[in-house]
Chain A
């Protein structure tokens, strides 16, 4: 089952990763930019599309695997992470990317995030965070700001939002970043770095919903309020500072790498493979498997 790792190297172009399917997203949706950034990042890395497994849940953004030439799995709502872990453990040679929205990842699938982080498989998790449920037409999401009036919170929401950056950092994720399609070269670089990080890597992408999103969450506002972490002199190996910066999620639009573990520990999938190799000599012939139960 092992797949030889080959690279297209310099020959790969973003087009190699673009499928014939036409996205169903609204004109102006931030996800178009995310898709372009992803094509560019994949081309820069150069793995052939068939060695990439791209797993998503349900939602506008979860349509994304179908727009690539990778093996895609547009699964059920909230379960992309468990499915992706099964894929990666089945074949650690694959490059496994997981994508979805804020509702998919932090509401219905929220219970899986902590476990994906602590297991630390070599996965890349891209969340297109638009603070609203777009596919179902404008309901409150787990990252909607408190007080937001939506069709399901017509009098304004009474809940604090989830903070995806603080959440993943607090569980010990080795790579946490935030980007926006309002700043494409930066987003492309973040996705590329996340894929190259050997372990669980999370990128929160502020991806505007043009149809149901708020004014201050649109591209124009992003461009105006962008606060690149590099411009703050942030050192991505400083985990405590990263936690501190993450607290301003929802208030400041920090972009860049919040935290990157300078000494990544071995991944779960690598440890699994090591254990399999160590124990392989103990394998019994299939015809002898029942001998352990034999009464003599």
Chain B
């Protein structure tokens, strides 16, 4: 029995391996397992090769895992294209279509060949049982049920749901194929005994991806306007809102370009609504000028950047964490704006609501720095108790504020009451030009300095938002891991593995990436002699920002590599152990 199982499969576009992965995910999640699925496609818009990997656990899974426990190749040509996504190890059980022949030389040459390679006449079994080749993946699901303990009734219910609308006949053929797969597995036992342990509870879970949750959290937070332009891998946020937002009195505007998208969103915020835009790296670059306008006009606005490999078109369908500099620093003039990053699909809800709250409370643009993996991987999420969340609204002017209203009045907190068109007595000139308290344009350097101070001062409380950081491990540990975004889940597992090995390590996961909360880092780093800042970029951008703003322990170094393949927990562990071995000398 195992508590954690990583399954992967690859085939051509028509084989439906992603769809099979989704059935598998639905089956295990309805049984109370924790699970996640990542998928990968060739560059073709339709057809072409595709692959998916599903990680299932009886305990929460924080990342897609390392080498596969079981791999399914429907043909070798497509399987070979996913060497990075479907990593093999000697312990992997490699199942392949019998008629494709034994593993090709190209695969053997890569090394780490599985010791157990199983040929299954998948097409033949499908034809015999279902009378059509189209139900191939149902045979595969049957094999996984029979050999690895994937819950059979869960898969069956998944098939029922999937084919319910497509007619009785199709459901029946797939059920026969599933049965054939199970029977084949039972008749041909494996040497390996990796059977999934039963789930600890059958508590129901949510199943969704980060973009789904971001859109839903926006509705929850009261977002009434979305302006944007389609760009991979963020478009699903606009798509979901375009279906739903009307019901809540809101609107989606698909703008003519990225600039118009954020422009319209800012206009809606000026008019008093909670508003957002979403994009990826190239779109962020185009939106930068208007982000500056939002900062100086002190207007709330949420900007989602789902990072992909860059620069320019880069790797548009794959994950990277290389937009942090852009999110934190891309500005003309002195600008400070909060940058938040979700660490998992489920975390996206909390981070999105937080982004709206910060935007409204501090009257500032806020960037949610998600990444393709968190945004598009599908994952089980523990039910979220939405009653825990408070929803913030912008500070409205009181009746006395509206007597000789000063929109940018200097206050102790730096936050001034904000009116909106339609409110009698609150008229003012919003402007990209520097202004005095009333909003009237000014060219005074002294006035500019006071306003800059105000715009920075109002964000000072962020320095003390310890709730936006996860800190795990003993407070006096000499070794540390720091990681953010989708890499945080890998660091989390590496941390747990290291703790299990007795290493004195602690872990810091910031959700607030910028401004750097200096007191939080100082306190965390006080005991640290050496450690790793783990992030998926060539430069190690968080590490560089930390070096810029803090005196770091000499042994705290960057552990980074370019996207798109996520780190494996064992890689991080090995690096940490190597560091610790030097550190304790």
Contacts and interface: CB of A to CB of B under 8 A. Distances in A.
Contact of A293 (B212, B247, B265, B440): B212
Contacts, number: 198
A3 B431 contact: no
Interface in A275-290: 275-276, 278-280, 282-284, 286-287, 289-290
A91 B423 CA distance: 12
Looking at B225, B423, B431, the one whose CB has the most chain A CB atoms below 10 A away is B431
Contact of A290 (B250, B255, B384): B384
Contact of A294 (B206, B227, B268, B387): B206
A69 interface: yes
Interface stretch (A79-87, A163-171, A257-265): A79-87
Task: Decide if the interface of chain B is mainly helix, strand, loop or mixed.
Answer: mixed
Nearest to B430: A73
Contacts of B428: 71-72
B264 A276 contact: no
B257 interface: yes
Interface string B263-282: 11111111111010000000
Looking at B248, B267, B424, B428, the one whose CB has the most chain A CB atoms below 10 A away is B267
Interface stretch (A37-45, A50-58, A172-180, A235-243): A50-58
A293 B208 contact: yes
Nearest to B215: A289
Interface residues of B, number: 70
Interface string B232-255: 000000000000001111110101
B205 interface: yes
Nearest to A69: B427
Which bracket fits the contact residues of A? 35 or more
A51 B420 CA distance: 10
B429 A72 contact: yes
A296 B30 contact: yes
A293 B213 CA distance: 9
Contacts of A114: 256
A75 B422 CA distance: 19
B253 A89 contact: yes
A295 B30 CA distance: 5
Contacts of B266: 75, 83, 86
Contacts of A280: 246-247, 249
B219 interface: yes
Interface in B198-231: 204-208, 212-213, 216, 219-220, 224-225, 227
Interface in A120-176: none
A230 interface: no
B432 interface: yes
A114 B386 CA distance: 43
B118 interface: no
A52 B422 CA distance: 7
Contacts of A296: 30, 204
Contacts of A94: 271, 421-422
Contacts of B420: 71, 91
B26 interface: yes
A70 B271 CA distance: 13
26 contacts: A3-B421, A3-B422, A48-B424, A50-B427, A58-B432, A70-B427, A71-B430, A72-B427, A72-B429, A82-B227, A86-B268, A86-B275, A88-B267, A89-B225, A90-B272, A91-B271, A115-B260, A278-B246, A280-B246, A282-B247, A287-B387, A289-B216, A290-B383, A293-B213, A295-B204, A295-B206
Given A82-B264, A83-B267, A90-B251, 12 more contacts: A66-B440, A74-B433, A83-B264, A86-B253, A86-B267, A86-B268, A86-B269, A279-B246, A289-B219, A289-B386, A290-B349, A295-B29
